[in-house]
Amino acid sequence: MLAASRDGCTERVMMVHGFSVDILADMVRAKLAAAKIERVMAGGRPTEVVGVRITDAGSRTLSKRAK
């Protein structure tokens, strides 16, 4: 899912698709993904969300598994 999204996804979107916070944290600790707090406007109000994106190491790991 992260590999298919150029800008990554929010933590909430990942969780809706079945990823737990523990799995996301493990991916970040393994440097397969990076997480960053982002400030966005939602409903006219500023809010913070966690953006998650795949890293180069994550992309390489996926390409190795596809072979």
For residue 46, the cross-strand partners are: 41
Tens digit of each residue's pLDDT (9 = 90 or more) over 1-45: 898 988 899 999 999 999 999 999 999 999 999 999 999 998 999
Tens digit of each residue's pLDDT (9 = 90 or more) over 35-50: 999 999 989 999 999 9
Cβ-contact 2, 9 below 8 angstroms: yes
pLDDT band for position 64 (cuts 50, 70, 90): confident
